[in-house]
Chain A
Amino acid sequence: MGTGPTEREIPISRPVPTVSRKPPGRRMSSTKVRIGMISALSLTVAACGSNDDVTAYCVDQNSYQADGSYQVIDDDYCDDDNYHGSHGGYFWYYGGSHRGSRIYKGTTVKPKNAHITTTSGKTVQRGGFGSRSSSGG
């Protein structure tokens, strides 16, 4: 019973643990663990470390290309203090890697409640999830 308190002498309730109902003599581990894309991703993430600053780029949504990149534009387009026009189509894009004046594999985050009007003219709201830290348990 280990080192914990003594069990009281009260009849236990159902269901009680049973002996294994599985075939005897079976192997308990995977016969093969194939890993593909996470290997490359892992090496990238490991190399990044935890203390890198993340750069925010102002990008033009209309410049999005099939390769996943955006055109970086002047920060004024995204800056609330300096830019007084419509924010439609311009947003901050965090992190990512540069190739020329285009930015790849970053992420949009925040501001909460931001409305981004898309090329199709419909309204998509982003930033409605998030803003907390570790979520695993």
Chain B
Amino acid sequence: MRREKSTPRAGWEQKIEAQGLAYHRTSHPEHLTRPYWDESVHYTFTMDEVLAIEADVETLHQMCLEAVEHVITTGRYQDFGVPPWVAPSIEASWRRRDPHLFGRFDLRYDGTGPAKMLEYNADTPTSLVETSIIQWYWKEDVYPDDDQWNSLHERLVEGWRHVAARAPSGPVHFTWTNEDESGEEVMTIAYLQETAGQAGLDGLAIAVEDIGWHYGLNRFVDLDERVMSTVCKLYPWEWAVADLFGKNVIDALPTMTWVEPIWKMLLSNKALLAVLWELYPNHPNLLPAYLRTPGPLLSYIQKPLLGREGASMQIVTPSGTQATHGQYGAEGFVYQEFWPLPEFDGQRPVLGAWMVEDEAAGLGIRETTGLITDDTSSFVPHRIVTT
């Protein structure tokens, strides 16, 4: 794993905007001089490194599925802050094996030791467009003879075929919140709709705010009052069930297919980290993690069970503390051993390893100068060098 400099393509901004990265300016705080998409640098990996991370990620995913089974079997919903009235639906969804499409592991990796799982964004992962499309075209333009760990596009199309085989007939509704003004969420959901379209599925876009509940049918309907049977959402489950329509979601669940399914509430929750450490203590791809208390940890990062974009975190070490702002944490915190992200030329990369269904499908890298990867991070491409 190396960090290399490279010359940005002429007209790169126009290129990436035409390829779907509409939000490269808006999703980034305005005072930053570094662009969100930064192709003046990239990372290189050997094939052996990529194959090792790929195997680790698939192992982690299997461990996560076993953790879901454990939580459901033992009824540990309280540890996850899941409301009791939601739990039966999670269990039913898991027992039905409701199909799942994708997720993104965040990993700490420095090229020398095993990848360490930081968290699993298994419900509403973003940086999908930049990973699947933008860096792929960058690699094709700049290093056409090299490879890249990135079959995300093909795997998503394939994954949609499997969802289609299980889902009710009719169109898939793609929904996001129009509260997001950066354009990131609308582009991410539009890209998901595009991949579903390439798998032969009819898609309809609707903002989550526009979704209606039909009292006669007891079903969700779109703006044309068409019943919504299959919904792909970029809207977290914990918000959906906490909303005014939360009870309706639960009522209608047996008649619907949601992508991602509701059982993913147990993976996108950081209580998972502590459960994994209980089930697989000292596993080389895990960091020690505990619920509610730091336990024996001297250096740790306190993470809210349900937080986003690095908000509401606190790093505590014998030499001092550091915190990020945020209003998450009402459901509680998990304490994970603190391992600083490795440093490459003053930047700290976090590896986003993508899963599609149950297989690893690609890599996207975000960098920050700080120890917590937040909304100031920049996305940098990567390639696999053939040596």
A residues near B, CB below 8 A?
Answer: 1-5, 7-8, 10-22, 27-39, 41-46, 48-50, 107-110, 112-113, 116, 118, 120, 122-137
In the assembly, what is the distance between CA of A113 and CA of B268, in Å? 29
B147 touches A (CB below 8 Å): yes
* CB-based contact A108/B180 at 8 Å: no
What A residues does B147 contact at CB under 8 A? 27-29
C-alpha gap A28/B21 in the complex (Å): 23
* Complex: A7 Cα to B184 Cα, angstroms: 39
Point out the residues of chain A lying under 8 angstroms from B342, CB to CB.
Answer: 2-3
Known: A2-B110, A37-B190, A129-B240. A109 touches B178 (CB 8 A): yes
Q: Which of chain A's residues have a CB closer than 8 A to the CB of B110?
A: 2-3
Do the beta carbons of B188 and A39 come within 8 Å of each other? no
What separation, in Å, do the CA atoms of A120 and B215 have in the docked complex?
12
Residues of A within 8 A of B308 (CB): 134-137
**CA distance in complex: A74, B27 (Å):** 36
Greatest chain B CB density within 10 A among A29, A32, A110 is at A29
Closest 4 A-B residue pairs measured CB to CB? A136-B126, A128-B245, A45-B22, A4-B339
Within 21-56 of B, Cβ neighbours of A (below 8 Å) are at 21-23, 25-26, 47, 50-52, 54-56
* A39 touching B50, Cβ below 8 Å: no
Shortest Cβ gap from A5 to chain B (Å) = 7
| Contact of A50 with B150 in the complex, beta carbons under 8 Å | no
Q: Which residues of B contact A28 (CB under 8 A)?
A: 47, 50, 147-151, 384
Residues of B within 8 A of A11 (CB): 282
**Could you tell me if B149 and A29 are in contact, using CB atoms closer than 8 angstroms?**
yes
Cβ-neighbour of B133 out of A14, A20, A27, A33 (below 8 A):
A33
Query: Are A50 and B20 interface neighbours, CB within 8 A?
Result: no
Known: A12-B283, A136-B126. A33 touches B132 (CB 8 A): yes
